[in-house]
Structure 1
Amino acid sequence: MMKLLEKMFGTYSQRQIKQIMPLVEKIESLDEEMQKLSDDELKGKTVEFRERLSKGETLDDILPEAFAVVREASVRTIGQKHFRVQIIGGIILHQGRIAEMKTGEGKTLTATLPTYLNGLSKEGVHVITVNEYLAKVQSEEMGVIHEFLGLSVGCIMHSLDKTERREAYNCDVTYGTNNEFGFDYLRDNMVIYKEERVQRKLNYCIVDEVDSILVDEARTPLIISGEGEKSTELYKIANFFVMGLTNEDYEVDEKAHSVILTDSGIEKAESFFKLENYADPENMHYQHHVGQGLKAHFLMKREKDYVVKDGEILIVDEFTGRLMEGRRYSDGLHQSIEAKERVKVEKESKTLASITFQNYFRMYKKLSGMTGTAETEEMEFREIYGLDVIVIPTNKPIARIDANDLVYKTERGKYNAIVKDVIESHKKGQPVLVGTVSIEISELISELLKRKGIKHQVLNAKFHEQEAEIVALAGEKGAVTIATNMAGRGTDIKLGEGVKEVGGLKVIGTARHESRRIDNQLRGRSGRQGDEGYSRFYISLEDDLMRIFTSDRFKGMVDKLGLPEDEPIEAGMVTKAIEGAQKKVEGNNFDVRKNVLQYDDVMNKQREIIYSQRGKVLDGENLQDQIQDMVEEVISESVDKHMSGLEETLKDDTHKLLAFLEEIYLPKNEIKLEDAIKLSNEELKEKLIAIAKQKYKELEELLKDEVREAERVILLKVVDTKWMAHIDDMDHLRQGIGLRAYRQQDPVQAYQFEGSDMFDEMISNIKIDTIKYLYHISINAAIERERVAKETGTNAVKDDNVKKQPVKKDKKPGRNDECSCGSGRKYKNCCGRA
Structure 2
Amino acid sequence: MTTGFLQKIFGSRNQRLVKQYQKTVTTINALETQIEKLTDDQLRGKTDEFRQRVAAGESLDKLLPEAFAVCREASRRVLKMRHFDVQMIGGMVLHYGKIAEMRTGEGKTLVATLPVYLNALAGRGVHVVTVNDYLAQRDAEWMARLYNFLGLSVGINLSGMEHDQKQQAYAADITYGTNNEFGFDYLRDNMVYETDARVQRALNFAVVDEVDSILIDEARTPLIISGQAEDHTELYVRMNALPPLLERQIGEEKADGTGVEKPGDYTLDEKARQVFLTESGHEKAERLLAEWGLIGEGESLYAPQNITLMHHVYAALRAHTLFHKDQHYVVQNGEVVIVDEFTGRLMAGRRWSDGLHQAVEAKEHVKIQSENQTLASITFQNYFRMYAKLAGMTGTADTEAYEFNEIYGLETVVIPTNRPPKRIDKQDQIYKTAKERYDAVIRDIRDCYERGQPVLVGTTSIENSELLSHLLKQAGLPHEVLNAKQHEREAAIVAEAGRPKRVTIATNMAGRGTDIVLGGNAEKQAAFIEADEAIPADEKARRIQQLHDEWETLHEQVKAAGGLHIIGTERHESRRIDNQLRGRAGRQGDPGSSRFYLSLDDPLLRIFAGDRVRSIMDRLKMPEGEAIEAGIVTRSIESAQRKVEARNFDIRKQLLEYDDVSNDQRKVIYQQRNELLEAHDITETITAMRHGVITEVVRQFVPEGSIEEQWDVPELEEALRNDWQLDLAIQEMVNESSSITAEEILDAVMTAADEQYESKVAMVGRESFSAFERSVMLQTVDRLWREHLAALDHLRQGIHLRGYAQKNPKQEYKREAFELFAAMLEAIKQEVTRVVMNVQIQSPEQLEEAAEQIEERGAGHLENVEYQHADYAESGAPVANVAAAAAATATADMVGSAMTHSGPGGEMPKVGRNDPCPCGSGKKYKQCHGKLS
1:738 counterpart (792, 800, 822)? 800
C-alpha distance 463-107 of structure 1, shift in aligned 2 (>3 A) = closer
Q: Partner of 2:500: helix, strand, or coil?
A: coil
For 2:371 and 2:586, the matched residues in 1 are separated by 48
1:664–1:768 CA contact under 8 A, matched in 2: no
Give the equivalent residue in structure 2 for 1:520: 579
TM-superposed deviation, 1:654: 4.0
Q: What pairs with 1:542-691 in structure 2 (closer than 5 Å)?
A: 542-550=601-609, 552-553=611-612, 555-643=614-702, 650=710, 653-667=712-726, 669-673=727-731, 675=733, 679-691=740-752
The amino acid that maps onto 2:396 is T
2:865–2:880 CA contact under 8 A, matched in 1: no
Give the equivalent residue in structure 1 for 2:101: 100
For 2:16 and 2:22, the matched residues in 1 are separated by 10
Q: Partner of 1:364: helix, strand, or coil?
A: coil
2:423–2:585 CA contact under 8 A, matched in 1: yes
1:432 counterpart (455, 472, 476)? 455
TM-superposed deviation, 1:21: 1.9
2:484–2:490 CA contact under 8 A, matched in 1: no
Give yes or no for the alignment of 1:412 onto 2:435: yes
Give yes or no for the alignment of 1:403 onto 2:426: yes
Give yes or no for the alignment of 1:775 onto 2:837: yes
For 2:230 and 2:607, the matched residues in 1 are separated by 39
Q: Partner of 1:715: helix, strand, or coil?
A: helix
Q: Partner of 2:511: helix, strand, or coil?
A: coil
For 1:820 and 1:373, the matched residues in 2 are separated by 35
For 2:224 and 2:756, the matched residues in 1 are separated by 42
Q: Partner of 2:816: helix, strand, or coil?
A: helix
For 2:374 and 2:742, the matched residues in 1 are separated by 42
Give the equivalent residue in structure 1 for 2:171: 170
Give the equivalent residue in structure 1 for 2:891: none
The unaligned stretches of length 5 or more in structure 2 are 232-331, 352-368, 520-553, 870-877, 889-933
TM-score (norm 2): 0.73
TM-superposed deviation, 1:673: 4.2
For 1:683 and 1:287, the matched residues in 2 are separated by 50
Give the equivalent residue in structure 2 for 1:509: 568
The amino acid that maps onto 1:61 is K
TM-superposed deviation, 1:690: 1.2
The amino acid that maps onto 1:595 is Q
1:227–1:800 CA contact under 8 A, matched in 2: no
Give the equivalent residue in structure 1 for 2:186: 185
C-alpha distance 281-628 of structure 1, shift in aligned 2 (>3 A) = same
The amino acid that maps onto 1:561 is L
Q: RMSD of the TM alignment (CA)? A: 2.9
2:518 counterpart (484, 492, 495)? 495
For 2:713 and 2:795, the matched residues in 1 are separated by 35
1:702 counterpart (755, 760, 763)? 763
For 1:577 and 1:714, the matched residues in 2 are separated by 63
For 2:786 and 2:701, the matched residues in 1 are separated by 28
Give yes or no for the alignment of 1:801 onto 2:863: no
The amino acid that maps onto 2:866 is D
Deviations 1:526-559 (A, max 9, x none): 1110111001111111101111233745544444
1:663–1:772 CA contact under 8 A, matched in 2: no
2:600 counterpart (531, 541, 553)? 541
1:205–1:364 CA contact under 8 A, matched in 2: yes
TM-superposed deviation, 1:820: 9.5
Give the equivalent residue in structure 2 for 1:376: 399
C-alpha distance 80-284 of structure 1, shift in aligned 2 (>3 A) = farther
1:452 counterpart (471, 475, 481)? 475
TM-superposed deviation, 1:638: 2.9
Deviations 1:50-74 (A, max 9, x none): 1111212111111111110000100
The amino acid that maps onto 2:819 is D
Give the equivalent residue in structure 2 for 1:225: 226
Q: Partner of 1:218: helix, strand, or coil?
A: coil
TM-superposed deviation, 1:28: 1.0
1:486–1:521 CA contact under 8 A, matched in 2: no
TM-superposed deviation, 1:415: 1.0
For 1:657 and 1:578, the matched residues in 2 are separated by 74
TM-superposed deviation, 1:675: 3.7
For 1:483 and 1:19, the matched residues in 2 are separated by 40
C-alpha distance 666-69 of structure 1, shift in aligned 2 (>3 A) = same
For 2:830 and 2:880, the matched residues in 1 are separated by 39
For 1:412 and 1:642, the matched residues in 2 are separated by 81
The amino acid that maps onto 2:589 is G
Give the equivalent residue in structure 2 for 1:144: 145
TM-superposed deviation, 1:285: 5.3
TM-superposed deviation, 1:622: 2.1
The amino acid that maps onto 1:626 is T
The amino acid that maps onto 1:180 is E
TM-superposed deviation, 1:580: 1.7
2:491 counterpart (458, 463, 468)? 468
TM-superposed deviation, 1:171: 0.4
Q: Partner of 1:793: helix, strand, or coil?
A: helix
The amino acid that maps onto 2:594 is S
Give the equivalent residue in structure 1 for 2:901: none
Give yes or no for the alignment of 1:81 onto 2:82: yes
Q: Percent identity?
A: 50
Deviations 1:50-109 (A, max 9, x none): 111121211111111111000010011110000000100001100011111111000100
Could you say which structure has the larger radius of gyration?
A: 2
2:230–2:860 CA contact under 8 A, matched in 1: no
The amino acid that maps onto 2:777 is L
Give yes or no for the alignment of 1:788 onto 2:854: yes
For 1:187 and 1:820, the matched residues in 2 are separated by 12
By relative contact order (CA 8 Å, sep 6+), the higher-ranking structure is 2
TM-superposed deviation, 1:501: 1.0
For 2:65 and 2:154, the matched residues in 1 are separated by 23
1:664–1:771 CA contact under 8 A, matched in 2: no
1:128–1:178 CA contact under 8 A, matched in 2: yes
Give the equivalent residue in structure 1 for 2:529: none
TM-score (norm 1): 0.81
Give the equivalent residue in structure 2 for 1:318: none
Give the equivalent residue in structure 2 for 1:14: 15
The amino acid that maps onto 2:854 is V
TM-superposed deviation, 1:524: 0.3
Give the equivalent residue in structure 2 for 1:159: 160
Q: Partner of 2:218: helix, strand, or coil?
A: helix
Deviations 1:178-232 (A, max 9, x none): 00000000000000001110000000010000010001100000000012699xx
For 1:820 and 1:606, the matched residues in 2 are separated by 27
C-alpha distance 732-676 of structure 1, shift in aligned 2 (>3 A) = farther
Give yes or no for the alignment of 1:44 onto 2:103: no
For 1:537 and 1:759, the matched residues in 2 are separated by 52
C-alpha distance 794-181 of structure 1, shift in aligned 2 (>3 A) = farther
Q: Partner of 1:219: helix, strand, or coil?
A: coil
Give the equivalent residue in structure 2 for 1:362: 385
C-alpha distance 568-628 of structure 1, shift in aligned 2 (>3 A) = same
Query: 718-727 or 156-165, which moves further after superposition?
Result: 156-165
Give the equivalent residue in structure 2 for 1:393: 416
C-alpha distance 117-819 of structure 1, shift in aligned 2 (>3 A) = closer
Give the equivalent residue in structure 1 for 2:279: none
Q: Partner of 2:506: helix, strand, or coil?
A: strand
1:665–1:772 CA contact under 8 A, matched in 2: yes
Aligned residues: 711
C-alpha distance 56-418 of structure 1, shift in aligned 2 (>3 A) = same
The amino acid that maps onto 2:728 is E
For 1:283 and 1:424, the matched residues in 2 are separated by 66
Q: Partner of 1:175: helix, strand, or coil?
A: strand
The amino acid that maps onto 1:368 is A
